Each structure stands twice: as C-alpha cells, then as structure tokens.
Amino acid sequence: MKIQPPSPPAPGPADYSQLGPIGPLMANPRVSEIMVMGVHDVYIEVDGKVVLTPINFSTEDELMAVIRHIVESVGRRIDAESPLSDARLADGSRVHVAIPPVAIDGPLLNIRKFVRGPLVMADLVRLGSCSETAFGFLKACVLARANIVVSGGTGSGKTTLLNVLSGYLPDDERIVTIEDAAELQLRQRHVARLEARPAGSNGKEISIRDLVISSLRMRPDRLVVGEVRGPEALDMLQAMNTGHDGSMTSLHANKPRDVLARIETLVLMAGFDLPVRAIRSQIASAIDVIVHLERLRDGTRKVMQISEVTGMEEDVITMQEAFRFVRSGMDSQGRVVGRFTASGVRPRVLDRLDELGLEMPSEIQSLFHESVHQAL
C-alpha cells in the first residue's frame, strides 16, 4: 500500500509586530527594500526608486531591540565583538546588520523583502525582465541538465531568477540547496535545504564550502548554491564536473566574461597551487550557460545577456552569445525601452535534449528552425 505523505501547512500571514516602526513598511507590498541608517533615517525602495520616509525610531535602544530580535531568531548573534550579521525573517526576507564599532554613525539595518510565493516565468515576462522565448531557452537548459551561473550586481534579481529556473527542475530528482541565508523557494518536495552558520559562542563556523562538500555525501541529483563568493567555487566546479549536471548558482559580476575571471580568482582562494590553464579547463567543462542581469537606471531588473560557454582555444575560454537585450531609448515615463533578440546561432546545449529524449520547449521550437537573427 502506498502511503501518501502529509501536505505541508499553508503559510499564514507574516507577523511584523516585533519590528517596531518599520513593521507597516514590511506589510506594504509596494516596498521592496528597507534601509535603516541609525535612529532617524529610514529609506525605502518603491517601484525601483529609493526615497526617505518620515519614519524613525524613538531611541537607539528601540532599534537595537529590533535588530537583536531578527538576528537571534535565526540563532545568530550581534554585539561589539560580532558587529556584522546576515539573517532572514520568517517570510524569507534577507537581512543584513552592522552596528558600532564598524557602523560609525549608529546601527545599520537593511531588509530586502522577498516576494511571498515563488514567481514563475509569466510573472517576469509581464514585468519585462525577459522575453518568453528567452525563458523558453532557459527552460530547455534546465531540462537538458546544463550547469547555469546567474550573474549580476547587487539587487539585480539573481535570487529571483534562480527561483524561477528552479521551477523547471523535475519533481523526481533530489535537490540540495545551499545558502548563506535561506531565501530560495523551491516548489519540489524532495529538497534538502542547508544554511551556513557563522562562528558563535555555541559552535564553530559552518561555511558555504563546508556545506558544498557535505552535500556531495547526500546523493544530490542537482545542487543549487545561492551564491558563490569564496573558495567553495572550486568544490562547486568539481561537483559540476563529476556527475552533478544541471546545477545552478549565482555570482556577482558586471558582465558574462567577468564571471569566468571571477570564478578563476575564487578558485585560487582555495589555497591549492593549480596552474591557471587547469583552472580554466575546469571552468570551461563545468559551466554551460551564463545568464547576466542588470538593474537599470529606471529601477527595472532585466536579463541583459544569455551566453553559452563553448570550450577553450589555447588558454582562453570561448563563449558565444545566445540572447541579448538591446536598448532603444527611454519612454515618456523615464523607463528603458528595448527588445530581446536572438543571436541567430543555435546553442550547442540544445543538442542535449535529443540525447535525453526530450522535446524542445514550445517557446523556442520555431526560433531555432530559423537561421536569421531575429527579435523576440
């Protein structure tokens, strides 16, 4: 007899009553980020614009009480000896805190709100972040078990895109997620979630690198690492090169080519005396697709370029562009206007669909039967 596992409880309304004067800002769906700079200055991001609010804290003790509540609720600490902390709220919002002595003019609290309920492709297409056809290609990459790196600057939407791409992962695969502060909202049931822990009075630090190494003993079909920013890059590359195809991660970088240089630097931080050519060879064989995002002047976040890593020529990693957002100007409301275009080159990763016996997603079936450069 097949036993039906219990369904997870539906999430209830978030409780922001312990957040003092910024509680109403957390409840306001238009506010995407809250930046507290000491007692008197509270800034928010609304529709991509940062504005100063009339809200303030009555005393520094009140602000510190809110900070301690947030940090201690996830088992972390904040004091003069540990004045920096990353944390999260119960709703998944990302929190970063800095207090004196490193914060010279008073405690700093930054909350990047997370959308309740994971977004899907149609949501980002509606927002103009990408085209349906380009997302169809990314869907094909996930189904074809391509290793994907999502790159961009701070606040460009990397985690949001990782969430959307994770929605294409098959339900019958075991997924392990690794994050500094848990934000990913995977909808699949068979997901093992790991979160790093800083050093504290009750235990030693557990780093992202520790978790990547540990995850390989958990029989994952795919790894999703929230962000690579240290020596764990080497372990991630080795995982991608040893049977964990279809893994995903994000990285801070200004353009796709910079992703390769940054990973090379991070691998060197692991402390092994590896030849540069060997590192580049590992990168070229591990990473298949780079999706680059930017936050534009009008506050919108867009996929600017999708590139495929094609191999190496001598000591240089080779790439080819698959899609690009081409700007054409600004409209009367000050918003960036443009279009998504395909390069006209058939990405090699699509050949894997045939090898796996999978159909090409309907969004790109007509596109890759054409040989001419076309707008999406």
DSSP reduced 3-state for 117: coil
pLDDT band at 14, cuts 50/70/90? low
Nearest-5° angle of CA 274, CA 279, CA 283? 160
The answer on 128 and 58 residing in a single domain is no
* Rounded Cα–Cα distance for residues 311 and 320 (Å): 10
Residue that is last in its domain, among 112, 143, 174: 112
Nearest-5° angle of CA 148, CA 138, CA 363? 170
Per-position DSSP letters for 148-203, written without gaps between them: EEEEESTTSSHHHHHHHHHTTS-TTS-EEEEESS-------SSEEEEE-B--BTTB
The answer on 138 and 42 residing in a single domain is no
Q: Which residue has the higher pLDDT, 213 or 183?
A: 213
The answer on 301 and 247 residing in a single domain is yes
Q: Which range, of 53-57, 145-149, 247-251, 368-372, averages the lowest pLDDT?
A: 368-372
CATH code assigned at 78: 3.30.450.370
* Rounded Cα–Cα distance for residues 239 and 122 (Å): 31
The answer on 125 and 108 residing in a single domain is no
The answer on 278 and 253 residing in a single domain is yes
How high is the pLDDT of residue 6? 43
Q: Is there a contact between 85 and 77 (Cβ–Cβ < 8 Å)?
A: yes
Please state the pTM of the whole predicted model.
0.81
- Percentage above 70 pLDDT, the chain: 92
Residues 96-121 have a mean pLDDT of 85
Structure tokens at 29: 């769906």
How high is the pLDDT of residue 117? 57
The answer on 293 and 177 residing in a single domain is yes
Q: Please, what sign has the CA dihedral across residues 129, 132, 136, 142? A: positive
pLDDT band at 89, cuts 50/70/90? confident
Residue 260 lies in a domain: yes
Burial of 121 (0-12, 13-18, 19+ CB in 10 A): buried
How high is the pLDDT of residue 249? 94
How high is the pLDDT of residue 115? 65
Q: What is the pLDDT of residues 322-363, one digit of tens each?
A: 999 998 888 877 788 889 999 888 999 999 988 888 888 888
pLDDT at 289 over 90: yes
How high is the pLDDT of residue 203? 66
How high is the pLDDT of residue 72? 87
The answer on 225 and 84 residing in a single domain is no
pLDDT band at 49, cuts 50/70/90? confident
Q: What is the pLDDT of residues 254-264, one digit of tens each?
A: 999 999 999 99
Max intra-chain CA distance, the chain: 65
Q: Give the range of the structural domain holding residue 293, as residue numbers without chain letter.
A: 121-369
Helices (H) and strands (E) in the chain, counts: 10, 15
Q: What is the pLDDT of residues 120-151, one digit of tens each?
A: 888 888 888 899 999 999 999 999 999 999 99
The answer on 68 and 156 residing in a single domain is no
Residue 9 lies in a domain: no
The answer on 146 and 62 residing in a single domain is no
Residue that is last in its domain, among 88, 112, 136: 112
Residue 4 lies in a domain: no
How high is the pLDDT of residue 375? 46
